[in-house]
Amino acid sequence: MKSMFLSLLLLLFAGHAHAADAPSLPAAWTQIGITVGMPYAQAKAALIKAGWVASAPDNDGNPVFAAHPEVDCGQGWDAICSAGYGRGNETYGLVLAPTDDGKLLVQGVF
C-alpha cells in the first residue's frame, strides 16, 4: 500500500512539473482569447479569424478528427495531438488533449 501511495504521489508530482515547464502561449494568441483548457474548436475559430493559417498535418492523409483535418495525433498511451498555425514569420504548434467525448482541449504550445 505504501509503495502504491508513493507511486501515485510521484505521478502527480511529475504531471505538475511537466505543466509548469510548458511554454506560455504566444502574446498574439492570448490577446485574441486563446487559453489553456479551452475547447480547440473555439481556439481554431479565433486563430483563423485573426489571420492564422493551419499547417497541413504530418500524417498519412487520414484525419483523426474529421472536423479538424489539420490535427495530427501520436500513437500510444501518452500520445498527444497537435496542430500547427502560422502567420507571417511566426509559426507555433498547439498541443491538444482529446477528451472522452471526442473533443479536443488546448494544453499548451511548442
Q: Is residue 102 over pLDDT 90?
A: no
Residues 6+ apart with CB under 8 A from 22: 95, 107, 108, 109
How large is the average pLDDT for residues 58-71?
82
Q: Note the pLDDT of residue 12.
A: 36
pLDDT tens, position by position, 1-58: 333 333 333 333 344 434 445 568 999 999 999 999 999 999 999 999 999 999 988 7
Q: Note the pLDDT of residue 58.
A: 74
Contact in structure between 23 and 108 (CB atoms under 8 Å): yes
> 39: which DSSP letter?
B
